[in-house]
Structure 1
Amino acid sequence: MEMFFHVGGAEVILFRQWHTRDSAGIAASMIGIILLTIIYEGIKSYRELLFSRMHILQTVVHVIQLVIGYFLMLIFMTYNAWLCIAVALGAALGYWVFSWEKSSGNNIDCCL
Protein backbone atom coordinates (compact mmCIF):
# COMPACT_ATOMS: atom_id res chain seq x y z
CA MET A 1 0.00 0.00 0.00
CA GLU A 2 1.44 3.31 -1.05
CA MET A 3 1.08 6.29 1.24
CA PHE A 4 1.21 9.78 -0.20
CA PHE A 5 -0.45 13.13 0.32
CA HIS A 6 -3.56 13.73 -1.75
CA VAL A 7 -6.32 16.36 -1.94
CA GLY A 8 -9.39 14.29 -2.75
CA GLY A 9 -12.85 15.03 -1.43
CA ALA A 10 -13.84 11.43 -0.64
CA GLU A 11 -12.39 10.38 2.70
CA VAL A 12 -13.29 8.22 5.68
CA ILE A 13 -12.21 10.02 8.85
CA LEU A 14 -11.75 7.92 12.00
CA PHE A 15 -15.13 6.17 11.79
CA ARG A 16 -17.07 4.62 8.93
CA GLN A 17 -19.92 7.05 9.65
CA TRP A 18 -17.62 10.09 9.20
CA HIS A 19 -17.37 9.89 5.43
CA THR A 20 -16.92 12.87 3.11
CA ARG A 21 -17.89 12.73 -0.52
CA ASP A 22 -16.98 16.17 -1.86
CA SER A 23 -15.21 19.44 -1.12
CA ALA A 24 -18.09 20.69 1.05
CA GLY A 25 -17.73 17.62 3.26
CA ILE A 26 -13.97 18.15 3.50
CA ALA A 27 -14.51 21.83 4.39
CA ALA A 28 -17.01 20.96 7.13
CA SER A 29 -14.67 18.27 8.43
CA MET A 30 -11.78 20.73 8.43
CA ILE A 31 -13.78 23.07 10.68
CA GLY A 32 -14.55 20.20 13.06
CA ILE A 33 -10.91 19.09 13.09
CA ILE A 34 -9.69 22.64 13.74
CA LEU A 35 -12.09 22.89 16.69
CA LEU A 36 -11.02 19.47 18.01
CA THR A 37 -7.37 20.51 17.82
CA ILE A 38 -8.07 23.81 19.59
CA ILE A 39 -9.79 21.85 22.38
CA TYR A 40 -6.76 19.55 22.56
CA GLU A 41 -4.41 22.53 22.93
CA GLY A 42 -6.67 24.05 25.59
CA ILE A 43 -6.71 20.86 27.62
CA LYS A 44 -2.96 20.54 27.24
CA SER A 45 -2.34 24.11 28.39
CA TYR A 46 -4.73 24.27 31.32
CA ARG A 47 -5.02 20.70 32.63
CA GLU A 48 -2.65 21.21 35.55
CA LEU A 49 -3.95 24.68 36.38
CA LEU A 50 -7.59 23.68 36.53
CA PHE A 51 -7.33 20.38 38.33
CA SER A 52 -4.13 20.42 40.33
CA ARG A 53 -5.85 19.42 43.59
CA MET A 54 -8.05 16.58 42.34
CA HIS A 55 -5.73 13.88 41.02
CA ILE A 56 -8.49 11.55 39.80
CA LEU A 57 -10.08 14.33 37.73
CA GLN A 58 -6.68 15.31 36.37
CA THR A 59 -6.14 11.66 35.38
CA VAL A 60 -9.46 11.54 33.52
CA VAL A 61 -8.68 14.78 31.68
CA HIS A 62 -5.23 13.40 30.82
CA VAL A 63 -6.81 10.32 29.24
CA ILE A 64 -9.21 12.53 27.25
CA GLN A 65 -6.24 14.59 26.04
CA LEU A 66 -4.37 11.41 25.08
CA VAL A 67 -7.31 9.99 23.11
CA ILE A 68 -7.88 13.28 21.26
CA GLY A 69 -4.16 13.40 20.44
CA TYR A 70 -4.29 9.90 18.95
CA PHE A 71 -7.42 10.80 16.97
CA LEU A 72 -5.59 13.82 15.54
CA MET A 73 -2.61 11.62 14.65
CA LEU A 74 -4.90 9.17 12.84
CA ILE A 75 -6.59 12.03 10.99
CA PHE A 76 -3.17 13.26 9.87
CA MET A 77 -2.32 9.73 8.75
CA THR A 78 -5.13 9.79 6.18
CA TYR A 79 -2.57 11.79 4.18
CA ASN A 80 -5.35 14.06 2.94
CA ALA A 81 -3.56 17.39 2.62
CA TRP A 82 -6.67 19.38 3.58
CA LEU A 83 -7.15 17.42 6.79
CA CYS A 84 -3.44 17.73 7.62
CA ILE A 85 -3.70 21.49 7.12
CA ALA A 86 -6.73 21.52 9.44
CA VAL A 87 -4.75 19.77 12.19
CA ALA A 88 -1.86 22.21 11.75
CA LEU A 89 -4.17 25.26 11.72
CA GLY A 90 -6.01 24.02 14.81
CA ALA A 91 -2.71 23.48 16.63
CA ALA A 92 -1.55 26.97 15.71
CA LEU A 93 -4.83 28.61 16.72
CA GLY A 94 -5.07 26.59 19.91
CA TYR A 95 -1.53 27.45 20.94
CA TRP A 96 -2.14 31.11 20.10
CA VAL A 97 -5.35 31.21 22.16
CA PHE A 98 -4.24 29.19 25.18
CA SER A 99 -0.52 29.85 25.55
CA TRP A 100 -0.29 33.62 26.02
CA GLU A 101 1.23 33.27 29.47
CA LYS A 102 3.91 30.87 28.29
CA SER A 103 5.11 33.18 25.53
CA SER A 104 4.71 36.53 27.30
CA GLY A 105 7.04 35.80 30.20
CA ASN A 106 4.39 36.90 32.72
CA ASN A 107 4.46 33.52 34.46
CA ILE A 108 7.97 33.90 35.85
CA ASP A 109 7.86 33.64 39.65
CA CYS A 110 11.58 33.97 40.16
CA CYS A 111 13.15 35.99 42.89
CA LEU A 112 10.01 37.42 44.52
Structure 2
Amino acid sequence: MDHSHMDHGNMDHSAGHRCSMNMLFTWNTQDLCIVFRQWHVSGTPSLIWSLIAIIALTAGYEAIREISRRYEAHSNVRHTVDNESSSLLWPGRSVRVVERRSKMIKAALYALQVFYSFFIMLLFMTYNGWIMLAVAAGAFLGYILFGNASATKTVACH
Protein backbone atom coordinates (compact mmCIF):
# COMPACT_ATOMS: atom_id res chain seq x y z
CA MET A 1 0.00 0.00 0.00
CA ASP A 2 1.45 3.39 -1.04
CA HIS A 3 1.49 5.99 1.75
CA SER A 4 3.67 8.56 -0.03
CA HIS A 5 0.74 10.96 -0.36
CA MET A 6 0.23 11.21 3.42
CA ASP A 7 1.50 14.28 5.26
CA HIS A 8 4.11 13.50 7.89
CA GLY A 9 5.07 17.12 8.53
CA ASN A 10 4.86 16.90 12.31
CA MET A 11 7.21 13.91 12.58
CA ASP A 12 10.82 14.54 13.55
CA HIS A 13 13.13 12.86 11.04
CA SER A 14 16.28 14.66 12.17
CA ALA A 15 19.43 12.79 13.08
CA GLY A 16 19.35 14.25 16.61
CA HIS A 17 19.83 12.32 19.79
CA ARG A 18 17.32 9.91 21.19
CA CYS A 19 16.60 9.33 24.85
CA SER A 20 16.50 5.77 26.07
CA MET A 21 14.01 5.00 28.82
CA ASN A 22 15.16 1.99 30.79
CA MET A 23 12.83 0.19 33.15
CA LEU A 24 15.55 -2.23 34.26
CA PHE A 25 18.86 -1.57 35.98
CA THR A 26 21.64 -0.75 33.52
CA TRP A 27 25.16 0.67 33.30
CA ASN A 28 24.65 1.72 29.68
CA THR A 29 25.10 5.44 29.00
CA GLN A 30 24.29 5.42 25.29
CA ASP A 31 21.32 7.71 24.57
CA LEU A 32 21.02 8.49 28.29
CA CYS A 33 18.91 11.54 29.06
CA ILE A 34 18.83 12.65 32.68
CA VAL A 35 15.42 14.02 33.71
CA PHE A 36 15.20 16.38 30.72
CA ARG A 37 15.68 15.71 27.00
CA GLN A 38 18.23 18.55 26.96
CA TRP A 39 20.35 16.85 29.67
CA HIS A 40 21.72 14.28 27.23
CA VAL A 41 24.87 12.26 27.86
CA SER A 42 26.73 12.19 24.57
CA GLY A 43 30.07 10.77 25.68
CA THR A 44 32.48 10.28 28.56
CA PRO A 45 33.09 14.00 29.27
CA SER A 46 29.36 14.78 29.47
CA LEU A 47 28.84 11.70 31.68
CA ILE A 48 31.56 12.87 34.09
CA TRP A 49 30.14 16.42 34.23
CA SER A 50 26.66 15.01 34.77
CA LEU A 51 27.85 12.81 37.62
CA ILE A 52 29.59 15.77 39.25
CA ALA A 53 26.41 17.85 38.88
CA ILE A 54 24.31 15.06 40.42
CA ILE A 55 26.71 14.72 43.35
CA ALA A 56 26.50 18.49 43.92
CA LEU A 57 22.69 18.50 43.61
CA THR A 58 22.29 15.64 46.04
CA ALA A 59 24.73 17.17 48.52
CA GLY A 60 22.75 20.39 48.19
CA TYR A 61 19.66 18.56 49.41
CA GLU A 62 21.43 17.93 52.72
CA ALA A 63 22.34 21.63 52.85
CA ILE A 64 18.66 22.58 52.48
CA ARG A 65 17.72 20.10 55.22
CA GLU A 66 20.35 21.59 57.53
CA ILE A 67 19.13 25.13 56.81
CA SER A 68 15.61 23.99 57.67
CA ARG A 69 16.75 22.35 60.92
CA ARG A 70 18.70 25.43 61.96
CA TYR A 71 15.85 27.79 61.13
CA GLU A 72 13.41 25.65 63.08
CA ALA A 73 15.73 25.50 66.09
CA HIS A 74 16.30 29.27 65.91
CA SER A 75 12.61 30.06 65.56
CA ASN A 76 11.69 27.71 68.43
CA VAL A 77 14.17 29.44 70.76
CA ARG A 78 12.98 32.84 69.57
CA HIS A 79 9.34 31.82 69.98
CA THR A 80 10.01 30.74 73.59
CA VAL A 81 11.74 34.04 74.38
CA ASP A 82 8.96 36.02 72.66
CA ASN A 83 6.27 34.18 74.62
CA GLU A 84 8.03 34.86 77.92
CA SER A 85 8.40 38.59 77.23
CA SER A 86 5.14 39.15 75.32
CA SER A 87 2.96 39.26 78.38
CA LEU A 88 4.95 42.24 79.68
CA LEU A 89 6.00 44.11 76.54
CA TRP A 90 3.90 43.24 73.47
CA PRO A 91 0.27 42.63 72.88
CA GLY A 92 -0.60 39.09 71.62
CA ARG A 93 -1.10 40.38 68.08
CA SER A 94 2.64 41.00 67.49
CA VAL A 95 3.51 37.49 68.57
CA ARG A 96 0.96 36.05 66.14
CA VAL A 97 2.50 38.01 63.24
CA VAL A 98 5.95 36.62 64.10
CA GLU A 99 4.51 33.10 64.42
CA ARG A 100 2.73 33.40 61.07
CA ARG A 101 5.86 34.66 59.34
CA SER A 102 7.91 31.86 60.89
CA LYS A 103 5.36 29.27 59.78
CA MET A 104 5.39 30.63 56.20
CA ILE A 105 9.20 30.37 56.05
CA LYS A 106 9.09 26.82 57.45
CA ALA A 107 6.42 25.88 54.88
CA ALA A 108 8.52 27.33 52.04
CA LEU A 109 11.59 25.40 53.21
CA TYR A 110 9.50 22.24 53.50
CA ALA A 111 8.09 22.69 49.98
CA LEU A 112 11.61 23.17 48.65
CA GLN A 113 12.71 19.94 50.38
CA VAL A 114 9.79 18.01 48.90
CA PHE A 115 10.49 19.35 45.40
CA TYR A 116 14.19 18.58 45.79
CA SER A 117 13.54 15.05 47.08
CA PHE A 118 11.24 14.23 44.15
CA PHE A 119 13.83 15.57 41.72
CA ILE A 120 16.43 13.26 43.28
CA MET A 121 13.93 10.41 42.98
CA LEU A 122 13.62 11.16 39.24
CA LEU A 123 17.41 11.00 38.95
CA PHE A 124 17.40 7.59 40.62
CA MET A 125 14.57 6.40 38.39
CA THR A 126 16.80 6.53 35.33
CA TYR A 127 17.74 3.04 36.58
CA ASN A 128 21.30 3.83 35.56
CA GLY A 129 23.97 2.50 37.92
CA TRP A 130 26.26 5.50 37.38
CA ILE A 131 23.48 7.93 38.27
CA MET A 132 22.50 5.87 41.31
CA LEU A 133 26.10 5.85 42.54
CA ALA A 134 26.32 9.61 42.04
CA VAL A 135 23.14 10.11 44.09
CA ALA A 136 24.58 7.95 46.88
CA ALA A 137 27.93 9.76 46.72
CA GLY A 138 26.17 13.12 46.90
CA ALA A 139 24.15 11.97 49.92
CA PHE A 140 27.38 10.82 51.57
CA LEU A 141 29.19 14.06 50.80
CA GLY A 142 26.18 16.15 51.85
CA TYR A 143 25.98 14.34 55.17
CA ILE A 144 29.70 14.83 55.77
CA LEU A 145 29.44 18.56 54.98
CA PHE A 146 26.01 19.48 56.34
CA GLY A 147 24.55 16.64 58.42
CA ASN A 148 25.30 18.00 61.88
CA ALA A 149 21.93 17.38 63.53
CA SER A 150 21.68 13.61 64.00
CA ALA A 151 22.84 10.27 62.68
CA THR A 152 19.25 9.12 62.07
CA LYS A 153 17.94 10.15 58.68
CA THR A 154 14.50 9.76 57.22
CA VAL A 155 13.68 8.66 53.69
CA ALA A 156 13.88 11.58 51.27
CA CYS A 157 10.73 10.78 49.26
CA HIS A 158 7.21 10.89 50.59
- Shorter-chain TM range is 0.7 to 0.9
Q: Which residue in the other structure is 2:143 paired with? A: 95
CA RMSD of aligned residues (A): 1.9
Residue segments in structure 1 that go unaligned for 5+ positions in a row: 104-112
1:9 and 1:25 in contact (8 A); partners too: no
2:29 and 2:41 in contact (8 A); partners too: no
Cα deviation 1:28-86 (Å, max 9, x = unaligned): 01111111111101111230312553111111111111111111111111111111111
Structure 1 residues 1-112: aligned runs within 5 Å: 2-51=23-72, 53=75, 54-103=102-151
Q: Structure 2 length as normaliser, TM-score? A: 0.59
Q: Structure 1 length as normaliser, TM-score? A: 0.80
Q: Does 49-58 or 20-29 show the bigger shift?
A: 49-58
What amino acid is aligned across from residue 31 of structure 2 in structure 1? A
Q: Which residue in the other structure is 1:110 paired with? A: none
Q: Distance in 1 between matches of 2:36 and 2:23?
A: 21
Q: Distance in 2 between matches of 1:101 and 1:68?
A: 19
Residue segments in structure 2 that go unaligned for 5+ positions in a row: 1-21, 76-101, 152-158
Q: Distance in 2 between matches of 1:48 and 1:101?
A: 8
Q: Distance in 2 between matches of 1:47 and 1:84?
A: 25
Cα distance change, pair 13–62 in 1 and its aligned pair in 2 (3 A) = same
Q: Does 2-11 or 60-69 show the bigger shift?
A: 2-11
What amino acid is aligned across from residue 37 of structure 1 in structure 2? T
Aligned residues: 103
Q: Distance in 1 between matches of 2:30 and 2:113?
A: 28
- Residue 9 of structure 1 and its aligned partner are, at CA, apart by 4.3
